[in-house]
């Protein structure tokens, strides 16, 4: 779906992956990396940067969380190979994973706007941004400066299938993006694809 939205003949570009998890597994960016793209990977899991630096050396790889405020947050660690590690105990309780938390770790956080200000190359546009942070996705989106940093395509993990009830869809609409596609991941978890709304600029 991303290839279709970005153009299947586009052979280079730049991505931002927030909640990148692993350099190859469950990755929406690895295919593009293999085809010559590069970008910024942000993953909060302690020890993740070493693996990303080894497997994705062309990328900027950051080991931190993204949230509304600069500071520290508690990271609920289930397992090294679990994609359900999260900053949100409410989300983990909802999916019945809170009792599986092995550690609560203090992790540094920055707003997305500050991450991009520090690490996005000067003059570099963002072709697509992926946000998948297990229940903390809205906070990531709200921490961006949408006047300065406007990816052409945004993929966000959300819950449910009704866009009228989604706070993420409503938030993206206020920033001039329109929902153009959805695909189901598992159960009621979905990926939502947003494009800049050309009618609003």
* pTM summary value: 0.90
> What is the pLDDT, as a whole number, of residue 186?
66
> What is the pLDDT, as a whole number, of residue 200?
57
Q: Are strands 65-66 and 103-110 parallel, antiparallel or unpaired?
A: parallel
> What is the pLDDT, as a whole number, of residue 188?
66
Structure-derived torsion over alpha carbons of residues 111, 113, 117, 123, reported in degrees to the nearest 10: 160
> What is the pLDDT, as a whole number, of residue 70?
95
Beta bridge partners of 188: none
Cα 88 to Cα 78: distance, rounded to the nearest angstrom: 12
Cα 61 to Cα 38: distance, rounded to the nearest angstrom: 11
The residues of the chain scoring below 50 in pLDDT are none
The domains of the chain are located at 2-66+112-196
What fold characterizes domain 2-66+112-196?
Answer: Rossmann fold (3.40.50)
Q: Express each pLDDT in 129-178 by its tens digit.
A: 999 888 889 999 999 999 999 999 999 999 877 878 899 999 999 999 99
> What is the pLDDT, as a whole number, of residue 56?
98
Cα 7 to Cα 199: distance, rounded to the nearest angstrom: 21
């Amino acid at each position: 779906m991303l290839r279709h939205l970005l153009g299947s003949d586009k052979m280079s570009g730049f991505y931002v992956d927030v909640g990148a998890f692993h350099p190859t597994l469950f990755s929406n960016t690895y295919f593009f990396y293999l085809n010559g793209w590069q970008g910024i990977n942000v993953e909060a899991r302690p020890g993740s940067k070493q693996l990303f630096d080894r497997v994705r050396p062309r990328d900027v790889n950051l080991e931190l969380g993204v949230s509304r405020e600069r500071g520290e947050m508690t990271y609920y660690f289930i397992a090294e190979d679990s994609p359900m590690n999260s900053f949100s105990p409410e989300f983990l309780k909802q999916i019945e994973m809170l009792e599986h938390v092995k550690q609560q770790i203090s992790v540094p956080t920055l707003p997305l706007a500050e991450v991009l200000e520090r690490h996005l190359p000067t003059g570099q546009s963002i072709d697509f941004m992926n946000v998948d942070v297990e229940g903390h996705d809205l906070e990531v989106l709200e921490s961006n400066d949408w006047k300065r940093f406007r990816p052409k395509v945004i993929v966000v993990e959300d819950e449910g299938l009704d866009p009228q009830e989604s706070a993420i869809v409503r938030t993206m609409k206020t920033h001039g993006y329109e929902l153009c596609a959805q695909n189901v991941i598992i159960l009621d978890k979905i990926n939502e694809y947003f494009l800049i709304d050309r009618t609003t600029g």
